[in-house]
Structure 1
Amino acid sequence: MQSFSLMNPVLQALLATLFTWGVTALGAAPVFFAKSINQKLMDGLLGMAAGVMIAASYWSLLAPAIEMSHGSWIPATTGFIGGGAFLYVLDKILPHLHPGMAMKDAEGIHTGWQRSVLLVLAITLHNIPEGLAVGVAFGAVAANINGASLGGAIALAVGIGIQNFPEGTAVAMPLRREGLSRFKSFWYGQLSGAVEPMAGVLGAWAVITMRPILPYALAFAAGAMIFVCVEELIPEAQRKGNTDFATLGAIFGFAIMMTLDVALG
């Protein structure tokens, strides 16, 4: 822990997001042993992922952004709306397909890309704000911002890692059921997390070199994550009718992230 704290914050962000990518790969690994996962369990895990992201959006991102704005609502509000707007535009442009949906329901610009590529891109949409959030959190620590701590940044990375597990499964399992090999299903499942290290490094570098944007960047990541939760994770968790189980999963996920942030931050 001490050696980690002495590292360059960009390197810290890289290592943290490599961890979150690794958990995505771990979530894809069950395809080596099975072709499907219990739907009720999957919906509960997706609900948990949403709960973790909602809690992280406030405890690890919005609360520090508000604190460092010294009573001004402008940075947090502007950044939050900007993050949601960015994901909205990306959602409309980037071709992607949510697990369990037919090819005709693919979103974004119409392409002839394979189903496997579109499934990976759907989860990649989730991972861009997650990687950015982790990077910005480590950048805030390096900038000596009040309310930002190394423990809090690590807690955020752990929380993001936890909720990445079902995302890896959500990509890999449908591909395995459709006849892809175990290795290809795993490869595509873990590939969806590859964007996180890139986004994490970019986020850490940006806030270190341009400190005045930090509260905007924190709130931006929060807005993007909330968009993902409301637009994709929560509807997906409830789509099969396991609403109570998915809701309890969200409550549990929120409690996990809140506990991590308070205990480590």
Structure 2
Amino acid sequence: MCLRDWFVDLTPVGQALLAGLFTWSVTCLGAAGVFLLRDINRRLLDSMLGFSGGVMLAASCWSLLGPAIEISQQGTLPAWLPHTIGFLIGGGSLWIMDKTLPHLHLGMPIEQAEGPKTSWSRTVLLVSAITLHNIPEGLAVGVAFGGVIAGVPSASVNAAMVLALGIGIQNFPEGVAVALPLRAEGMSRRKSFWYGQLSAIVEPPAAVLGAAAVIYVAPILPYALSFAAGAMVYVVVEELIPESHREGNVDLATFSLLIGFAVMMGLDVGLG
């Protein structure tokens, strides 16, 4: 039996766990760059952030909202309603977390930390910011695998695997973007790597939670898929795009976002 057949035979929760571990491991790989480099060029960092944003936007459209709309059309409610509600709740939930969880965006002075005032160190605040937007990524992977139970063409194991691959691809520069700035601030390589990979450790449990939720409460599936999409779009617009533009590399970051979007779109159409 080939590896793919073995994977397909697993339960959706098992598939989601392995996919979450995969996306986390790619973050680890990116964070491991700290053992080779001390700093990262700002233009390269901004292009990575833009690329990640493009991947997340495309994943939200094709891998999450597409199946959510298709499933909504089979229900008794107006076809436009379930995924619209889920999308808005997803973005709103991230907004609430953004206001209630202390965090600090990359490159910002600690005085500009967002959320409630806290005595947390700069490092913890930085990791908190990245962890905040890894939660919807993990949920997205989980609900994609759980969504296979809906039986619609756009919610297949192949499509879920493509989503996990896309999230994994954008997690590599994410690991770099966390670990190398910490190293540049004087933290040891080992600690920089530790905090870099720690930012994505929430993805495997979030993936399992997402898959289990839609399996055992099947009617929430279109809401869950669109919830993850709304949360991811919020992260892109609120964090990744502004951060990639902050040093003036607007054109570079924008074209990188387009490339990321095209890569994820191509993966979804070609492999999903």
TM-score (norm 2): 0.96
Query: Which SS does the other structure have where 1:194 is aligned?
Result: coil
What is the Cα deviation at residue 252 of structure 1? 0.4
**In the alignment, is the contact (CA less than 8 A) between 1:9 and 1:204 conserved in 2?**
yes
Does 2:19 match 1:26? no
**What is the total number of aligned residue pairs between the two structures?**
265
Does 2:73 match 1:66? no
**In the alignment, is the contact (CA less than 8 A) between 1:143 and 1:208 conserved in 2?**
no
Structure 2 distance, partners of 1:175, 1:55, is 29
Query: Which SS does the other structure have where 1:108 is aligned?
Result: coil
TM-align CA RMSD: 0.9
Question: 210, 213, 232: which one pairs with 2:217?
Answer: 210
The amino acid that maps onto 1:229 is V
**In the alignment, is the contact (CA less than 8 A) between 2:47 and 2:253 conserved in 1?**
yes
Structure 2 distance, partners of 1:8, 1:41, is 39
Aligned to 1:38: 41
The amino acid that maps onto 1:5 is V
**In the alignment, is the contact (CA less than 8 A) between 1:137 and 1:218 conserved in 2?**
yes
User: Any unmatched runs of 5+ in structure 2?
Assistant: none
Structure 2 distance, partners of 1:109, 1:26, is 32
The amino acid that maps onto 1:220 is F
Aligned to 1:232: 239
Mapping of 1:170-189 within 5 angstroms? 170-189=177-196
Query: Which SS does the other structure have where 1:148 is aligned?
Result: coil
User: Any unmatched runs of 5+ in structure 1?
Assistant: none
- The runs of at least 4 consecutive aligned structure 1 residues that moved more than 3 Å come to none
Query: Which SS does the other structure have where 1:68 is aligned?
Result: helix
Structure 1 distance, partners of 2:177, 2:102, is 17
Does 2:145 match 1:138? yes
What are the superposed Cα offsets for residues 4-35 of structure 1, whole Å, 9 maximum, x if unpaired?
Answer: 00001101000001010011111111111111
Structure 2 distance, partners of 1:122, 1:166, is 15
What is the Cα deviation at residue 207 of structure 1? 0.2
TM-score (norm 1): 0.98
Does 2:155 match 1:155? no
The amino acid that maps onto 1:204 is A
Question: 4, 7, 23: which one pairs with 2:7?
Answer: 4
The amino acid that maps onto 1:64 is P
Identity across the alignment (%) = 64
What is the Cα deviation at residue 147 of structure 1? 2.1
